[in-house]
Structure formats: C-alpha cells, structure tokens
A = this chain, B = another copy of it.
Amino acid sequence: MTVFQRAEYTGRIERVKQRMAAAGIDVLLCTDPANMNYLSGYDGWSFYVHQLIALALDDDEPVWIGRQMDAAGAKLTTFLRHENICGYPDDYVDSPQRHPMAFVAREFCARGWDKGRIGVEMDSFSLTARAHAQLEATLPYAELVDAQALVNWVRIVKSPAELAMMRVAAIIVARAMAAGIEAIEPGVRECDVVAKICSAQIGGTPEHWGDYPAALPSAPSGIKTAAPHLTWSGDRYAADTVTFLELAGCHHRYHAALARTVCLGRPPDGLAELAAIVTDGLEVALDAARAGRTCHEVEAVWRALITKKGHEKGSRIGYSIGLGYPPDWGERTASLRPEDTTVLQPDMCFHMILGMWRESWGYELSETFRVSAAGPPEVLTAFPRKLFARP
C-alpha cells in the first residue's frame, strides 16, 4: 500500500530512466533511503543496514534488496511484485565475514545485470567504502559508474501530490514552532521546550499526522547559539540571552523547515540591528527566487544587501528540500550560493536559511518556499517573520 498512486511512481521511474539512458547506465543501484522511497514507496527505519533498490533500464519496476526481516516491510509499503523483493539472511548484518553487497552481486548475476554499466551513488552516506569495494570485487565484468544524485536531480521538481505533502509539513512546522516559542522562558529546561516541539511535530493536526523529521530540532540557548547544529540539553534558559529554533515538519517523509530566533529579556548588542538586516535580506532574496533565475543570482541579491550593511556570511543561504531521511532533509543538489548555476524551475522547493553566528550568540531566520511558474515564490511556511521576545 503505497502513499501515492501508481502513476506517480511510474512517472518518476520514467524520468529517472531518461537520465540513466543519457548517462549510459544499464542498472541504477540506489542506496539513499530517500531515493529508495521515491522509486518504490519503501519506508522503514532499516537504513542502518545495507539495503538498496536496483532499477534496470529495460524493466518496468525496481527490485528491492535488503535484510530478510525487512522484506515484510517492503511488501507492506511498496508496489513491487513479491519476486522483486529479495532479502539477505541475517548473518550478513554487521558481519566481518559476509558483506550484504556480495549477496547483492549474486542477485545481479542471477538477473543478468553483471556485465553492463551499473550506476552507484558514490557520495551517498548509504554507500560505504566497503560496500563499493565489495561490489567491485564481486562484479568483475560490470563497470561501476558514479550516479551520485541522479535521482536527487529528478526529485528536485515536485509533483502536485508531493507539494500537497509539503504544504501539510509546513502547517505542522508552524504549530511546532508556536509550541516551542510559547514554552520558552527563563528557568525552563531546553529539553522541556523540545518535548513540546516534538509532540507537535508528531501529533500533527487533527487532519494530518506528523512524520519524523530527518533532523531533530536545533534548540540551543545562550552561548551555544554561537554554533549551528547543536541540538538541546537540560540547560535552563537564562534571562538576557538568545535562543533559536530550527525545525522541520514532516508528512509522509516530505519536509518543510523553519527557523526563528527568540530573545529572553535584553538582547545582546547588535542583535536587533542584525535581525532587521537579515529580515530585509530574506525578503529581497525570496523575491528574487523566480523561475529562470540561477541559484547564484538569488544568493547575490542577499549578499549585496548585507554587504552594504557591513555584514558577511561565508555559507550557503539555502538548499533544495523535500523527501528525506535522517540525517538530512536537504536533497544534496542545488544550493543557493556563489557558483551554483542551477536554474530555478517551477515547483522546485528550497529551504532558505539565514544563520548568522557570532562570538557569543547567533541569529537564524528561514522559510521554505516553492518556485512559482511566474512571479515571486510561494512561501510554504507561514509564521511571523520577526525576532520574538519571551516571556
């Protein structure tokens, strides 16, 4: 029982095959769990063991290969015929003697896929160095070629059905953000705020359930806001400090992300001024994010504004977002930054995130948006765009 109708998957497979044909790839081996889900519907927290789907250019559907115990989940979550769901025995798991890719290679031989060009996702965190070496050793007549992000570049343009998921995710993240901000006050522990946020992320709305975001909240307070990507602890919020929340909502593995900053009491010197500049920067950059523009042009608009105000930011201001599994809700394709020549197309979605980290505090502001056919983008996340004050 898949999330989308079969035609959605058929279209995806067709578009992926076009790229495979252009790259001369006979069989595509996808280990990235988001790509596995995209092409088959497969969904389960089994991506801590080796697993993949393989799509042959001349087959109509992919083959799932994973741990035997997870074959039951593949039957429940994919549209695949059961002969296209292959489980390897449990003694391949975490074994120094047997590697699952040796099993995969035998399955490839049995299907006549051992002599052509096999595309693998060379820089996906789901394809280990040993997995690749094992494939090389066990498939001596095949040519392994890099197909990193081949499927991701198909995923970057969303279908109407996918956009519907992302709009739900955006509703959920706004509720989670509101729950978090409301709970912040001096003396409260960070973990108690995050407990409320996660409850809202997962409970969703009465109409829509919340799936687990591919990253848990960043919710640091005080000095810890000087860095991105710190999660939370049992520290208590203190008066006259800053905190930011960077969260996603998720629905059927589709994400919308949102960041806001909250000040408890007196803001540190420079914060209010920086917040105003960043808000202006967000607005001009969002307005620039139109179909036909490049990613670097969007970033340049932001950069020009903050440079004029005497600020700089050394990191990208956004990236493509959508379907994802831990550790990343980003799609690892286009980034809003210098040199990225990706041309924005309608129904691409980005998380534009403006994080400014100083010596002893930080400020974050973000929105998730969809590129429109004409005019400025549709901002999926609807939340007041300001520096919040608590309590």
Contact = CB atoms under 8 A, between A and B. Distances in A.
Contacts of A77: 230
Question: Most chain-B Cβ atoms within 10 A of its Cβ — which of A128, A129, A133, A231?
Answer: A129
Chain A residues touching B, range: 35 or more
Contacts of A162: none
A211 B216 CA distance: 10
A303 to B, nearest CB: 13
A72 B91 CA distance: 41
Given A45-B327, A333-B94, A130 B123 contact: yes
Contact of A199 (B196, B227, B232, B316): B196
A227 B73 contact: yes
A148 interface: yes
Nearest to A136: B129
B228 A327 contact: no
A215 interface: yes
A187 interface: no
Nearest to A89: B314
Interface string A250-277: 0000000000000000000000000000
Contact of A129 (B43, B128, B203): B128
Interface stretch (A109-117, A218-226, A280-288, A372-380): A218-226
Nearest to A326: B326
A291 interface: no
B230 A94 contact: no
A223 B76 contact: yes
A60 B199 CA distance: 43
A91 B337 contact: yes
A93 B316 contact: yes
Interface in A159-215: 189-192, 194-196, 198-200, 202-204, 208-212, 215
A319 B131 contact: no
A204 B191 contact: yes
Contacts of A315: 68-69, 90, 93
A326 B215 CA distance: 9
A69 B315 CA distance: 8
A374 to B, nearest CB: 28
Contacts of A93: 315-316, 335
A357 B128 contact: no
Contacts of A328: 48
A383 interface: no
26 contacts: A44-B229, A47-B327, A48-B328, A69-B228, A70-B227, A70-B228, A72-B228, A73-B227, A73-B228, A76-B224, A90-B314, A91-B339, A94-B330, A120-B129, A122-B128, A123-B128, A123-B130, A124-B128, A125-B126, A130-B146, A195-B210, A202-B232, A208-B234, A209-B234, A326-B326, A327-B327
Interface of A: 43-48, 68-70, 72-73, 75-77, 89-91, 93-94, 96, 99, 120, 122-133, 146, 148-149, 189-192, 194-196, 198-200, 202-204, 208-212, 215-216, 218, 223-224, 226-234, 314-316, 319, 326-328, 330, 332-333, 335, 337-339, 355, 357
